[in-house]
């Protein structure tokens, strides 16, 4: 009987579980994660407006694990050693025949004063904090921006910040108090959002200007103070700062013998296999993969990688070499609370549709459909 271990409980981990169980019904699957729950991060954007509450997005996985005949271990990963065959955790050591690492990444919190900014995608508490701060404000300046990892171009999350920006703008208009606020979007890149497509930055910036959103672009970040955003080009006042820093690999990776990219993530090949480590695979935000410079860290990419990793792991464990490479594809709906902007990019080209009410409802419908399988 194959003994397979999966680290994590996010998009990639759950997709890998389903695919492995389908491919090897008799395999012993162990999942190691700090909590027996799944958080649907894409809908955090709707918490500030009240369209969603935290409990709507937090799914207990106990029943799903039972259906998939998975052994769950509540623990934090501390190291991966012996070429991936042993995982050291806060609950003890666990051996395996094959391993899929889907622990996610970390936000780089090195900018001075970054504690004065809220990082929205850190979870439900951060989104609730944004909601509370907005409810307490009678007016003022709201600054929203994101950064990257200069050593790992794919390790950034810009799309959600566009959604928070346009969503807050729309919410304030619905509440009849938009004129009391100044919205500022800032980014160190002169053309933020370029990985979504070469024409996207100009269109997104045009949308901002139409909505009366000020832009401050092209200046490297220096840091923050309680009510101040500091860049190499200028400093400006802000009563509320939302900032998404770039990403790097999991904290335990520093002590591991797994190969690391220059940006601090686990190096993998086109088959999601960790370089130099047989039967050890990495998927999602923890990995650094070869491919185009517009690769993105998003749930859709994690799902695509997880399906391939599950297939390839089963192949290698069975002594076969019919490995698959994962498809590079970026798909997202940038939601504005009332409309959605569909953006799709692949090696065949890119597409961006104008804002459409139908896409907003499509994003909500997809959330329901996706979560249904885990409830």
The answer to whether 3-105+249-317 and 108-244 have equal CATH topology is yes
Using the CB atoms, write b or e for 126-150: b if 16+ within 10 Å.
bbebbbeebeebeeebbbbbbbbbe
What is the average pLDDT across 18-28?
A: 96
For residue 13, the model assigns a pLDDT of 98
Question: Per-residue confidence at 1, pLDDT binned at 50, 70, 90?
Answer: confident
The answer to whether residue 153 scores a pLDDT higher than 90 is no
The answer to whether residue 272 scores a pLDDT higher than 90 is yes
For residue 170, the model assigns a pLDDT of 98
What is the average pLDDT across 335-356?
A: 95
Average pLDDT of the chain? 96
What is the average pLDDT across 167-190?
A: 97
Give me Rg for the CA atoms of the chain: 21
For residue 77, the model assigns a pLDDT of 97
Alpha carbon of residue 12 to chain centroid: 11
Pairing assessment for the beta strands 329-335 and 340-346 based on DSSP bridges:
antiparallel
Instruction: Give the tens place of pLDDT for each residue, 53-112.
Output: 999 999 999 999 999 999 999 999 999 999 999 999 999 999 999 999 999 999 999 999
The answer to whether residue 156 scores a pLDDT higher than 90 is no
User: Domain-by-domain residue ranges, the chain?
Assistant: 3-105+249-317, 108-244
For residue 68, the model assigns a pLDDT of 97
The answer to whether residue 244 scores a pLDDT higher than 90 is yes
Instruction: Give the tens place of pLDDT for each residue, 183-192.
Output: 999 999 999 9
What is the average pLDDT across 357-375?
A: 97
Question: Per-residue confidence at 157, pLDDT binned at 50, 70, 90?
Answer: confident
Instruction: Give the tens place of pLDDT for each residue, 47-67.
Output: 999 999 999 999 999 999 999
Nearest 5°: CA angle at 239, between 237 and 242?
Answer: 95
Using the CB atoms, write b or e for 317-337: b if 16+ within 10 Å.
beeeeebeebebbbbbbbbbb
Task: Tell me which H or E stretch contains 312.
Answer: helix 299-317
CB 149 within 8 A of CB 108: yes
Question: Per-residue confidence at 321, pLDDT binned at 50, 70, 90?
Answer: confident
For residue 255, the model assigns a pLDDT of 86
pTM of whole model > 0.75?
A: yes
What is the average pLDDT across 364-368?
A: 97
Percent of the chain whose pLDDT exceeds 90: 94
What is the average pLDDT across 136-146?
A: 98
CATH class of 108-244: alpha beta
> Quick one: tokens of 317?
């464990």
Q: Does domain 3-105+249-317 bear CATH number 3.50.50.60?
A: yes
């Amino acid at each position: 009987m194959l003994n397979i271990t999966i680290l994590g409980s996010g998009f990639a981990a759950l997709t890998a579980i389903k695919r492995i169980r389908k491919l090897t019904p008799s395999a012993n699957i162990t999942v190691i994660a700090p909590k027996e729950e799944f958080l649907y991060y894409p809908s955090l954007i709707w918490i500030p407006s009240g369209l969603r509450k935290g409990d709507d997005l937090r799914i207990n996985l106990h029943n799903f694990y039972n259906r998939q005949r998975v052994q769950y271990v509540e623990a934090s990963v501390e190291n991966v050693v012996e070429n991936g065959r042993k995982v050291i955790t806060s609950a003890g050591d666990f051996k395996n025949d094959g391993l899929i690492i889907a622990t996610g990444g970390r936000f780089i919190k090195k900018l001075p004063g970054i504690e004065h900014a809220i990082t929205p995608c850190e979870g439900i508490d951060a989104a609730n904090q944004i909601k509370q701060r907005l409810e307490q404000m009678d007016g003022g300046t709201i600054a929203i921006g994101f950064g990257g990892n200069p050593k790992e171009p794919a390790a950034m999350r810009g799309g959600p910040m566009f959604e928070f920006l346009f969503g807050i703008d729309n919410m304030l208009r619905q509440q009849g108090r938009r004129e009391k606020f100044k919205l500022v979007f800032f980014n160190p890149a002169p053309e933020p959002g370029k990985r979504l497509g070469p024409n996207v930055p100009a269109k997104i910036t045009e949308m901002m200007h139409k909505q009366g959103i000020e832009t401050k672009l092209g200046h490297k970040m220096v840091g923050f103070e309680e009510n101040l955003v500091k860049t190499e080009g200028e400093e400006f006042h802000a009563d509320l700062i939302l900032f998404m820093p770039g990403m790097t690999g999991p904290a335990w990776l520093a002590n591991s013998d797994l190969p690391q990219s220059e940006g601090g993530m686990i190096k993998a090949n086109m088959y999601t296999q960790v370089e130099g480590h047989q039967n050890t695979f990495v998927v999602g935000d923890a990995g650094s993969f070869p491919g185009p410079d517009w690769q993105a860290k998003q749930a859709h990419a994690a799902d695509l990688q997880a399906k391939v990793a599950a297939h390839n792991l089963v192949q290698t464990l069975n002594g076969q070499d019919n490995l698959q490479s994962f498809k590079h594809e970026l798909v997202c709906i940038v939601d504005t609370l009332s409309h959605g902007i569909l953006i799709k990019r692949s090696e065949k080209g890119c597409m961006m549709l104008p804002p459409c009410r139908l896409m907003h409802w499509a994003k909500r419908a997809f959330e329901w459909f996706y979560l249904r399988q885990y409830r």
